[in-house]
Amino acid sequence: FIDKHLPKNKLGLSVRNYEGVMSTLCAGCGHDSVTAALVQAFWELDLAPESAAKVSGIGCSSKTTAYFMGQSHGINCVHGRMPSVATGANAANGDLNYIGISGDGDSLSIGFGQFAHAIRRNLNMLYILENNGVYGLTKGQFSAAADYGSKSKKGLANDQMPIDPCVQALTLGAGFVARAFSGDKSQLIPLIKAGLKHKGFALIDVISPCVTFNDHAGSTKSYAHTYKYYHPLVHTDFVAHADEVTGSYDADGAMRVTMQDGGELFLRKTESDYDPRDKAQAIETLMMNKTEGEIRTGLLYLN
Ligand code: SF4
């Protein structure tokens, strides 16, 4: 169905042509906002749906691949094994835009080794990790990304330290590392566009609230509580923002970074930004993030 009244991209397609089947996730789940951002990013980049290959593992997050670009290639893989399937598909056809969707359970527990080696091999793909700290599909057990001391729905406190996927990706050699919040599409969409343009492994760790099993405010009556918990912690003005992948962005203080495909990435700078090509600064930022309990989002590292 093509809505004649919606604007078209250079391929003559509207955003509706980039949608998939209707979501069956809980109302208010952060993952649906990631889906909407993916639809918008692919549409804005004028990428044909059939130019994409969607790969995912198991979990609420991994259902996302069904919800965008119904006309593209896609496979829902075995739990934690999505990077292996992406590696094989990449070897068979390197011309597609590979996009992996995973969760913190799928990537940081059963699939942790796969995640690490996909980065080491510098697999050419955009890897989106929808991170909510719980196994939503199996009713809310702590994942390896759960905050220390956070409470489960039954009131139990998590007594293990979380794994930070961005720190792991940086130390394993990823050339593009970003963190975003599903409640901020103005930052998430440009980051997805930049990640799709990056040649090599690109990680975007998206803080994506589970409104059913990870209600940090202590009440399960309203999903708004989960977003209220995150909003004061999320700082989008600290780290460089990816404003445009290509184009003529010319704001004061804009910084230009040349991408590996020859395109340019324009970054809006604020007083406290650092050069995202400085890995030590990126790691220091994430460490500060841990001690101060804040969530710094944006493009953390680009090489
Ligand atoms: Fe989303 Fe949590 Fe519901 Fe799964 S259980 S669909 S992660 S809100």
Query: Does the residue 95 lie in any domain?
Result: yes
Mutate to test the pocket of ligand 1, among 32, 130, 213 (most ligand atoms within 8 A of CB): 213
d(CA 19, CA 37): 11
d(CA 26, CA 136): 10
Share of the chain above pLDDT 90, in %: 52
Query: Does the residue 45 lie in any domain?
Result: yes
d(CA 186, CA 199): 23
What is the tens place of the pLDDT at every residue in 17-67? Answer: 999 999 999 999 999 999 999 999 999 889 999 999 999 999 999 999 999
Query: Does the residue 267 lie in any domain?
Result: no
Query: Does the residue 161 lie in any domain?
Result: yes
Q: What is the pLDDT of residue 221?
A: 44
d(CA 169, CA 177): 7
ipTM of the complex, rounded to two decimals = 0.99
- DSSP string across 60-125: TGGGGGGGB-TTSEEEE-STT-HHHHHHHHHHH-TTSEEEEEEEHHHHHTTTHHHHHHHHHTT-SE
For residue 103, give the ligand 1 atom closest to its CA. 7
Query: Does the residue 178 lie in any domain?
Result: yes
CA of 132 to the centre of ligand 1 (A): 9
Mutate to test the pocket of ligand 1, among 22, 23, 31 (most ligand atoms within 8 A of CB): 31
Domain count across the chain: 1
The CATH number of whichever domain residue 121 belongs to comes to: 3.40.50.970
> Atom 1, ligand 1: which residue's CA is nearest?
29
Ordered per-residue pLDDT tens for the chain, 303 residues: 557 789 999 999 999 999 999 999 999 999 999 999 999 999 988 999 999 999 999 999 999 999 999 899 999 999 999 999 999 999 999 999 999 999 999 999 999 999 999 999 999 999 999 999 889 898 888 899 988 888 777 778 889 999 999 999 999 999 999 988 898 888 888 889 888 888 899 999 999 989 888 765 554 444 555 776 776 666 654 444 444 333 333 344 445 555 555 555 555 554 456 777 789 988 988 887 766 667 878 888 888
The answer, yes or no, to whether any atom of ligand 1 lies below 6 A from the CB of 25, is: yes
> Atom 3, ligand 1: which residue's CA is nearest?
26
Burial class (CB in 10 A: 0-12, 13-18, 19+), 130: buried
The answer, yes or no, to whether any atom of ligand 1 lies below 6 A from the CB of 26, is: yes
pTM comes to 0.89
The answer, yes or no, to whether any atom of ligand 1 lies below 6 A from the CB of 29, is: yes
Query: Does the residue 263 lie in any domain?
Result: no
Phi-psi label, residue 46: left if phi above 0, alpha if psi -120 to 50, beta otherwise: left
Residue numbers of the domain that contains 218: 15-240+275-302
CA of 146 to the centre of ligand 1 (A): 15
Query: Does the residue 35 lie in any domain?
Result: yes
CA of 137 to the centre of ligand 1 (A): 7
CA of 246 to the centre of ligand 1 (A): 35
Query: Does the residue 153 lie in any domain?
Result: yes
CA of 2 to the centre of ligand 1 (A): 30
